[in-house]
Copies of this chain bind each other. A is one copy, B any other.
Amino acid sequence: MALTTAQLQELAEAQSARAETRRPTVPALEKMLFEALPVLDHGFVRVIDYMGDDAAVVQAARVSYGRGTRAANEDRGLIRYLMRHWHSTPFEMCEVKFHVKLPIFVARQWIRHRTANVNEYSARYSIMDREFYIPAPEQLAAQSSSNRQGRGDILQGAEAEEVMALLRRDASQTYDHYAQMLNEGEDGQPADPSRQGLARELARMNLTLNTYTQWYWKTDLHNLLHFLRLRADPHAQYEIRVYAEAMMQVLEAWVPTVAEAFRDYRLGAATLSSQMLAVTRRLLAGEAVEQAGSGLSKREWRELMEMLGRPV
């Protein structure tokens, strides 16, 4: 699955190429173009192509609102207005294409975002590389006891060593057997001439879910922000969050004004239910409100106190 020599050459050419264009161009992103941002132990994210910039969002909004936006004479103000009021179509006017290398179990979570275009490396056609994700020791966490979808303490000592050894050994062994079943030599000829070799589309089933795959993933800016809102969130699984964080760097370079508004109105924002709003108003009026009688469940109460920066 590593890039072929031909592909690497193509990429080197792409990187050294310089063309003149009349399209909107973002120098800060041009600098990052094609460069792999490393993620996890063998993964990466790199931008392959993009369309549009901050100004393209503004331009699209102005086509919609026409003369109506004469007053909004400042682009930043307009972008912030659009973000605050959940206008989505102007953000759809920008597009970005990533090349991503990622473990299969991360890919399975990622693909649930359906509004993107994807071309994945095919293990039906081709042979997977011998690369798997093994967590760093500080990521080897126990199951959280309070949260069924979270992590607790970091495993220590013998248990940590044993887990690490099992992950390494099983991934190696299943890959070795995969290669053995395929029976393909370097030259494409059978490694062992007395055997036929199992079809690739079957042999792949012996690989573990931490095997790395890769894909091209293309999305518009609106859907990218939606992805980042869910996956750059502290509740997202660490192994996908680090990809989202790398993409946040791309976002900052590409559309800095949109990125700023996104931080203010999405990542750093909080939604209060009608009951939470009622409690907040009572608190502001000086009332002593307790969870009991607040109309909030214990969990919601805790969430609200956290948002408001108050002790639970």
Contact = CB atoms under 8 A, between A and B. Distances in A.
Interface of A: 1, 4, 6-7, 10, 14-15, 17-25, 30, 33-34, 49-52, 56, 59-71, 77, 84, 86, 89-90, 92-93, 95, 97, 99, 103-105, 107-109, 111-112, 114-115, 117-127, 133, 135, 139-144, 148-153, 155, 159, 163, 166-167, 170-171, 173-174, 177, 180-182, 184, 195-202, 204-210, 214-216, 218, 220, 230, 237, 239, 263-265, 267-277, 280-281, 283-284, 297, 300, 307-310
A98 to B, nearest CB: 11
Contacts of A114: 114-115
Contacts of A62: 7
Most chain B CB within 10 A, of A115, A201, A284, is at: A201
6 contacts: A21-B21, A64-B125, A84-B300, A90-B119, A166-B181, A268-B277
Contacts of A274: 263-265, 267-269
Number of copies of this chain in the oligomer?
A: 4
Contacts of A115: 114
Contacts of A210: 205-206
Contacts of A51: 49-51, 95, 97
A119 B4 contact: no
A49 B49 contact: no
Nearest to A121: B66
B10 A21 contact: no
